[in-house]
Structure 1
Amino acid sequence: MKLLLTSAGIKNPSIHAALVDLLGKPIAEASALCIPTAIYPFSVGPSMAYRFLSGSTNNPMCELGWKSLGVLELTALPSIKKEIWTAAVQEADALLVYGGDVVYLSRWMRESGLADLMSSLQETVYVGISAGSMVTAPVFGETYDDPEAPFVINEGMGLVDFALLPHLDHEDHPESSTAKVERMATEVPVRTYGIDDETAIKVQDGAVEVISEGHWRLFTP
């Protein structure tokens, strides 16, 4: 699987070019499935899910001009015949995984069965936003309710061998100040990238490349 892990979507030409490179063809010739699941635990979840799917958020992803778009709702998959939704996933060029609650997303990646399918999707491009990027780590840390609260350390999907903290030093994300990200990184037993909204991490054939028109930090355990 190829990955493009963003903080806030396809925010600039550099990240856009990285996506096209991973796809190996123009976006207009590629199909994608959107995964909004992580946003539902929040009070604004239903409206934000609609905004994500309709391309009206500040996180460019669904509105990029895809040849086709579909919705893959993870909480529904256990009630559907596996061969039906599996075929849809295997046919997609990209999976667009929205942000929200990374602990909730990690749970449903597993319970839905999608996590078990990931290793077979060699040519699929996984594109994450915020929590959608964080969940790919072997281990992640997060705190949403109170930026001063102890970090919640949880197991991710292990699609990459590092952790990622989005929204570095963003004024609307006090939990993601450089100082707090550095402190969280000491509790996670893998290297941790802190990235701002103009930065993404591209992973292909095991090679990790930071794509940035903003700023980022790498913290080692």
Structure 2
Amino acid sequence: MKLLLTSGGVTNTSIRDALVDLLGKPIADSTALCIPTAQWGHPMCGPASVRGFVSGMTSLGWKSLGVLELTALPSIGEERRVPWVREADVLLVDGGDTTYLCHWMRQSGLAQLLPSLPETVWVGVSAGSMAMTPRIGAYFVEWPSAPDDRTLGVVEFSIFPHLDVFPGNTMAEAEPWAAEIAGPAYAIDDQTAIKVDNGTVEVVTEGHWKLLA
């Protein structure tokens, strides 16, 4: 799977160009699925913010765009839900609570399906990006049922998103957070993304970021 791990989405030309490069074709020729699931696990999110995510992604100009709600998938047979995922060029995965998203990725079978999707592009937004890391730190756990802060570990680094965007997302908070994580981590703002293609990690930015060891 190819990854474009963002804080705020496709917010500038550099991130958009990175997305097109991962797709290997224009956005207008690509099919996408929006996954809003993480929003339901976060106390600050709800129906209005889900609508905002989907409408924002629509503006990118996809050939086709659908919505995949992971909480519904366990009640739907694999013969229907697996082809939906396999036929998409890109999965657009929104923010919210990362641990809630990871729970439903496992419950829905999506997490288990990811290794068989080498050409699919995963575009994460905030929690949608953090889900692919090994840990998110207690600072970002909002879901009361989360057993701990561990996530899927698809990549070997963690992400501190929305740097200097929200009052609590400052470098003064990121540094002790990274010390708790005890592994490589990136603090990124909403104009920055981390592109991962065939094991190569590249920071794409029109803003600011820092690698925290």
Give the TM-score band, short-chain normalised: over 0.9
1:108 partnered with 2:104 = yes
Residue aligning to 1:98: 94
Structure 2 CA distance for aligned equivalents of residues 62 and 203 of structure 1? 24
Offset, 1:187: 1.1
Of 53, 56, 66, the residue aligned with 1:70 is: 66
User: Which amino acid is the alignment partner of residue 167 of structure 1?
Assistant: H
Of 82, 98, 110, the residue aligned with 1:86 is: 82
Cα pair 2:20 2:27 within 8 Å, conserved: yes
1:169 partnered with 2:164 = yes
User: Which amino acid is the alignment partner of residue 161 of structure 1?
Assistant: E
Any idea what SS the aligned residue of 1:109 has? Answer: helix
Offset, 1:16: 0.5
Structure 1 CA distance for aligned equivalents of residues 140 and 115 of structure 2? 30
Offset, 1:54: 2.1
Any idea what SS the aligned residue of 1:40 has? Answer: helix
1:125 partnered with 2:124 = no
Identity of aligned residues (%): 56
Offset, 1:83: 2.2
In structure 2, relative to structure 1, the CA distance for the partners of 1:80 and 1:184 (3 Å cut) is same
Structure 2 CA distance for aligned equivalents of residues 205 and 145 of structure 1? 30
Structure 1 CA distance for aligned equivalents of residues 184 and 85 of structure 2? 30
Residue aligning to 2:55: 54
Cα pair 1:144 1:175 within 8 Å, conserved: no
Of 169, 175, 179, the residue aligned with 1:182 is: 175
Residue aligning to 1:36: 36
Structure 2 CA distance for aligned equivalents of residues 115 and 54 of structure 1? 25
Residue aligning to 2:17: 17
Of 178, 188, 207, the residue aligned with 1:195 is: 188
Residue aligning to 1:215: 208
Cα pair 1:153 1:188 within 8 Å, conserved: no
Q: CA RMSD in A?
A: 1.6
Offset, 1:106: 1.4
Task: Tell me the number of residue pairs that the alignment of Structure 1 and Structure 2 aligns.
Answer: 208
User: Which amino acid is the alignment partner of residue 4 of structure 1?
Assistant: L
Alignment TM-score, normalising by the size of structure 1: 0.90
Structure 1 CA distance for aligned equivalents of residues 32 and 138 of structure 2? 28
Any idea what SS the aligned residue of 2:91 has? Answer: strand
Structure 2 CA distance for aligned equivalents of residues 70 and 139 of structure 1? 29
- Structure 2 residues without counterparts, runs of 5 or longer: none
